[in-house]
Amino acid sequence: MKALDTAHLSGSADERLEEVVTRLDGLLAADPDLSFQVAAFHDGKPVLDAWGGPHLVEDSVIVPYSVTKNTIGLSIGLLVERGELDLDERVATYWPEFAAKGKQHVTVRQLLSHQAGLPQADPALSWDELLDHHAAAERLAASRPYWHPGSAFGYHAITIGNLGDELVFRVTGRTLHEFYEQEIRAPHGIDFFLGLPPEHEGRRVDVLPMIKPVSDTSAPTFSALGPVVFGSMGGDVDLGNSRRSWEYGHPAGSGTGTARGIARLFAAAVTGVDGAEPFLSADTVAEIGQQQIRGYDEVLHQQDRAHAIVFQKPSQQLAFGGPRAFGHDGAAGALACVDPDTGLAFAWTIARGPWPGGADPRAVALARELGIRLSS
């Protein structure tokens, strides 16, 4: 890669990406408040590692919200790879208490693709329960699903982290945080943490609030479940910026790291990095990245939502890659994804995302463009 020589963008990039670098520099020039990190690997080799703006520097770490969910999917993938977890087995086989209230036939595949009907418990879970390795999971196991499992799907925005954590614990005797740290993050040198260690606190920056344009007079729309799922998730915890949240590192929404670290996570899993073999086989990558469900989301009240095993699949709103690509966006603009067909692993973190939230459209378009450009 070649060191960048631009007015606003720092880092390095493959010489084939000169046009992309010029465009990114132009974005920073046009918006003095814009701050992002962007990183990409192609076939395991770094091709883009850049940052710019007043709020983020090279080693700044930030909470990318639901981009964190990629740690769940890849941890589950490693258990599938090792033969320790069967996606078509009933959850209750590993976690007997989960069978309560009509959930005895729910499969791991359904649970991890937002089909189990457990986006919230009744009464609603507290942050004390959610930011705990077992408390929320125990409540969810005792709950009746909001829909008959498998009849619909809806985004388990926070609870999929607690459900995935407990499932990993039942299979391995380790929390998801411990498994991810010991089996994935540390061995592969990944700068993305579930629970930010104290020695890295000086690198942390806050997620800045999005700004609603004055011209946007649209009223939000909700499904019947939306207020039930999200209505109680305010209070004294800011998922991205509260110490108790990022110190814990909720696997559904408050991991902390750099774009470089998140892109490396996907590259290490799917293509390998530093000359090493990927930690997942092509068969496992295909299995966890395979679309499980597509259509109307009962929680988000959105059409054309699609999920693999935890991961999001490309859709009209998230056209980040080809049919075998998978990844996850974050509520405040971040995005990370991988496309096994092009060999591209990509990540984008941003300090203040564009309204109304979800993946920054600039990141979605860039991920798709890089995959096409570098594989042609």
Summarised one tens digit per residue, pLDDT across range 54-67 is 999 999 999 999 99
Half-sphere exposure of 190 (CA within 13 A, CB side): 29
Question: How confident is residue 193, by pLDDT bands cut at 50, 70 and 90?
Answer: very high
β partners of residue 336: 328, 347
pTM of full prediction above 0.95: yes
Per cent of the chain over pLDDT 90 is: 93
Question: In 142-291, which residue ranges form alpha helices assigned H by DSSP?
Answer: 159-172, 176-180, 226-230, 243-248, 259-270, 282-288
Rounded-to-integer distance, Cα 371 and Cα 348, Å: 14
Q: Is 23 exposed, middle or buried (0-12, 13-18, 19+ CB in 10 A)?
A: middle
pLDDT of residue 376: 82
Q: What is the mean pLDDT of residues 183-197?
A: 98
Three-state SS at 285: helix
Cβ atoms of 64 and 330 closer than 8 Å: yes
Amino acid at 170: R
Q: Mapping DSSP to helix (H, G, I), strand (E, B) and coil, where does residue 65 land? A: helix
Residue 94 has pLDDT above 90, yes or no: yes
**Are 35 and 60 contacting, i.e. CB atoms less than 8 angstroms apart?**
no
pLDDT at position 231: 82
The rounded radius of gyration (Å) of the Cα atoms in the chain is: 20
Band (323; pLDDT cuts 50, 70, 90): very high
Say how many CA atoms lie within 13 Å of 129 toward its Cβ: 18
Cβ-based neighbour number of residue 354 at 10 Å: 19
**Average model confidence (pLDDT) across the chain:** 96
Distance CA 327, CA 278 (A): 17
Q: pLDDT of 220-260, one tens digit each?
A: 788 999 998 988 776 789 999 999 999 999 999 999 999 99
- In this prediction, residue 217 carries a pLDDT of 82
Q: CA dist 355 to 36, 70, 132, 155, Å?
A: 15, 23, 31, 20
pLDDT in tens, 5-49: 999 999 999 999 999 999 999 999 999 999 999 999 999 999 999
Residue-wise pLDDT for 141-177, tens only, equals 999 999 999 999 999 999 999 999 999 999 999 999 9
pLDDT at 116: 98
**E strand map for the chain:** 2-3, 9-13, 36-42, 45-52, 192-193, 256-257, 293-297, 302-307, 326-329, 335-339, 344-350
Q: For domain 2-210+219-375, is the CATH number 3.40.710.10?
A: yes
Give residue-wise pLDDT tens across range 119-148: 999 999 999 999 999 999 999 999 999 999
Long-range contacts of 198-204 (CB under 8 A, 24+ apart): 200/61, 200/256, 203/59, 203/60, 203/61, 204/60, 204/61, 204/62, 204/246, 204/256
pLDDT at 282 over 90: yes
In the prediction, which pLDDT does 303 show? 94
pLDDT category, 218, cuts 50, 70, 90?
confident
In the Cβ-directed half-sphere of 56, how many Cα atoms lie within 13 Å? 34
Helix, strand, coil % (nearest 5) of the chain? 35, 15, 50
pLDDT reported for residue 248: 98
